[in-house]
Structure 1
Amino acid sequence: MAIRYKLLLSLLLLGVLISGIALFANVQTQNTTVLRLGHVVDLEHAMHKSLDYFKQQLHDISDGQMDVKIYASGQLGAERDLIELMQIGSLDMAQVSVGPVESFVPELQIFSLPYVFDDEDHFWRVVNSDLGQELLLSPLNVDLRGVAFFDAGSRSFYTCPKPIYTPDDLAGMKIRTMKSQSAVALMRELGSSATPISFGELYTALQQGVVDGAENSAITYYKARHYEICKNFTLDEHNTIPGIVMFSEKRWQGLSAQQQTWVQEAMDITVTYQRALWKADTEVALTNLKQAGVTIIYPDKAPFQERVESFKQSFKGTPVGDILDRIEAKR
C-alpha cells in the first residue's frame, strides 16, 4: 500500500512538473509560433486591451503563423518576477512599468525623476527620438529587448485620510510606491514615508490602513477601484513613467528575421492604437471618478517642483544626469 501511495505521489509530482514546463515552453505548433506574454493589470485596463490588439495584429500580419498567449492580472507574478522570467528565457514577452526595470538598467532611472518633461508633447518628442531608441534598447545589457514604450500617463497622488494640496500635506504619510529606488527617494524628498508594496496587494493595504495612499495614473486608480477607499486625487503629475513592452533576448534570437519583422511591425501599429486608447480612457476615468464622489484637486505644481529640484540636481555629472541634459535640450 505504501509503495502504491509513493508511486501515485511521484506520478502526481511529475504531472505538475510537466504542466509547469509546458506553461513556459516556447510553444511551436505545426504551423504557428505562440509567444507567451505576461502583465499585471486587469482585463479592462488600456494596457491589456492594447496587448490584445497586438495579438490580433501579429496574427493578421503573419497570416496566422504567429500568435500570442496573454497571461493577465499577475498570473505569473509581480512585474519583477516577469522581468526575471524573461531574463532566463522562461517567458517570451512582458509589459511592465519602466520603474521596476531601473533596478536592472540604471539609465531608465531617468523616467522616475520628477518633472523631467514639460508636457506630453515634450515627452513624446524624446521617446520618438534617437535618445528614446537608445533608452528602449538599453535593457539589452541584461538580456532583455525593449520593443515599445507605452503611454502610462503621469503619476499623481491619491490619499485616504486627507487630501494633498501642497508638499507639506504629505509629511508623515505612508505612500505606496513601486519597488524602485528612485520612487522611494522621491517620496522622501517630498516628506512622506515610501512603502513599496506589490500592486496586487495594494487594495488590501489601503483598506487596512497599512498605507495612507499611493500614486499612479487616473486610469489605474480608477480601474483598480482604489477610489472606493481613497477619495482624494491630487493631479500633481510628479513624474511620467511609461510602460515598456520587452522581449526575452534569448527568445528574440530564436525567432527568424521574418518573425522579428512581423513582431516589430505589429507592435509599431499597436503603439499608435495604445496612445489613442490611453488618452480616451483617461478622460473617461476622470469623469467616472468625479461621479463616484472623488475630490479631484489641481494643485499649484510650483511648490512640488521646488521641493524636488535639489534631488534632480544631485544627478548632474552622472550618466543619468547626462541623459537629463539631453532631454532638456529637446524642449
Structure 2
Amino acid sequence: MLNQKSSLTRRGALAACAGAGALGITGCGQGREILYAADAQIDGYPTVEAVRFMAARLEELTGGRLKMNIYPGAQLGAEKDTLEITIFGGLDLNRVNIAPLNSIARETFIPALPFLFKSIPHARAAMDGAPGQAILDALEPHGLIGLCYYDSGARSFYNARRPIHEPDDMKGLKIRVQNSDLYVSLVEALGANATPMPYGEIYTGITQGVIDGAENNWPSYFTSRHFEVARYYTLNQHVLAPEVLVMSAHRWNRLNDDDKQAVRQAARESVPFMRSLWDALVDEARETVVASGVEVVEDVDKSLFAARMAPVWDRFISTPKMQSIVDDILSMEEAGA
C-alpha cells in the first residue's frame, strides 16, 4: 500500500511540474528547465541507464540548463498509460516497447515483422538509418517525437514440452504472446495456439499447464526465471523489434533550435552506450541459462519459419509507404548492411 501511495504521490508531483512548465512557471526547476522521463523497466536495466547517460550528456551540452528527472520501474504507470500522458504533454520523455506504438502509427509494425531482419547488425543498421528515421517521423503527427531506438534483442520460442526444430514441431503448443494482433498472427501462422497473457503470469501459466511456453529474448528468459519451467529454447530469432525513446511534441515545440539539436545529439549518443550494456547482459543471461542444463536448439533452418510469414506480412504491410520502408530495409541487407 505504501508503494502505491508513493507512486501516486510521484505522479501527482510530475503532473504539477509538467503543468507548471506548460504555463511558463519555472519554480519546479529552480531556475533550470527540467524534463521528466519514464521507463517501465527496473532501475539498472540497460534502457534506464541509457536514458541516464542521455540526461548527463544533455546537461553537458546545454551548460546545465536542461536537466532530466527519470522515473524507472513503472513508477508513473504502465507503458500504455505513460504514452497517453506523453502525447498530451504531461510527461516529456518516455522509453517504450514498440508494440504500444502500433495503435498510434501503423509504420511501427514494420520493425516487428517476423524475419524482416537477417541479423542484429542488419537490424541496427536499418533502425539507425533512413528506414528507422521514416518510422520515427510517422509518430510526429500523433504528438510524439521519435528520438532513437534501443535494442530489445532477438525473440525466440521456449516451451516445457519439446524441442522445436521446425514449424511442424509447434503444432498444438499453447504459446503466450503479447496483447498484439501481429504476435497472435505470427504464432498462429506457425500452427501453434497463441495465448495473450500478461508477462507476470507466464511462469505460473507454464507450471499449471495453462500455456506450454512463450517467446522472448535471452535476458527476459533468464531474469523472469522462465528457464526453470520451460527447458527448451529454440534460437529461431523470429522478431528483432526495438525499444523506442519518444518525446512529447508539446514539450519539443517549446524548445529552441539549439536545445532541440542538443536533445537529439544526447539521445543519439546514448544508443551505443545502451547496446554495450545490452550485449553484456545477453552474454551473461545465455551463459547462466546454458549452465543450468536448458536444451538450446541452435540448428534451426529459419527459412522454414520465414516461409510461413507471407500472410502476416500481407496483413500488416497495409500502405505503399510501409512497403517502401520494408523494401529499403531488405535492400540494405542485400547490400551487406
Calculate the TM-score normalised by the size of structure 1.
Answer: 0.86
State the 1:287 CA deviation.
0.8
Instruction: Percent identity, please.
Output: 32
Give the AA of the match of 1:124.
R
Aligned to 1:324: 326
Aligned to 2:137: 137
Aligned to 1:110: 110
Whole-angstrom distance in 2 between the partners of 1:303 and 1:33: 53
Contact 1:136-1:149 at 8 Å conserved across structures? no
Whole-angstrom distance in 1 between the partners of 2:125 and 2:168: 33
Q: CA RMSD in A?
A: 2.5
In the alignment, structure 1 segments of 5+ residues that lack a partner are 1-15
Instruction: Report Cα offsets for 1:272-308 as digits up to 9, x if no partner.
Output: 2112222222122211111233222112212212222
State the 1:256 CA deviation.
3.2
Whole-angstrom distance in 1 between the partners of 2:241 and 2:234: 17
1:21 aligned onto 2:5: no
Contact 2:134-2:325 at 8 Å conserved across structures? no
Aligned to 1:32: 32
Give the AA of the match of 1:308.
M
State the 1:204 CA deviation.
4.3
Whole-angstrom distance in 2 between the partners of 1:156 and 1:166: 13
Whole-angstrom distance in 1 between the partners of 2:313 and 2:181: 14
Contact 1:112-1:240 at 8 Å conserved across structures? yes
User: What pairs up with 1:1-331 in 2 under 5 angstroms?
Assistant: 20-24=11-15, 25-26=17-18, 28-298=28-298, 299-313=300-314, 318-319=319-320, 320-330=322-332, 331=334
Contact 1:177-1:196 at 8 Å conserved across structures? yes
Task: Report how many aligned residue pairs link the two structures.
Answer: 317
Whole-angstrom distance in 2 between the partners of 1:143 and 1:322: 24
State the 1:41 CA deviation.
1.9
Whole-angstrom distance in 2 between the partners of 1:316 and 1:294: 36
Give the AA of the match of 2:324.
D
State the 1:317 CA deviation.
7.2
Whole-angstrom distance in 1 between the partners of 2:29 and 2:102: 35
State the 1:201 CA deviation.
4.3
Contact 2:11-2:76 at 8 Å conserved across structures? no
Whole-angstrom distance in 2 between the partners of 1:198 and 1:76: 19
Whole-angstrom distance in 1 between the partners of 2:68 and 2:208: 38
Aligned to 1:3: none
Change (3 A) 1:172 1:39: farther
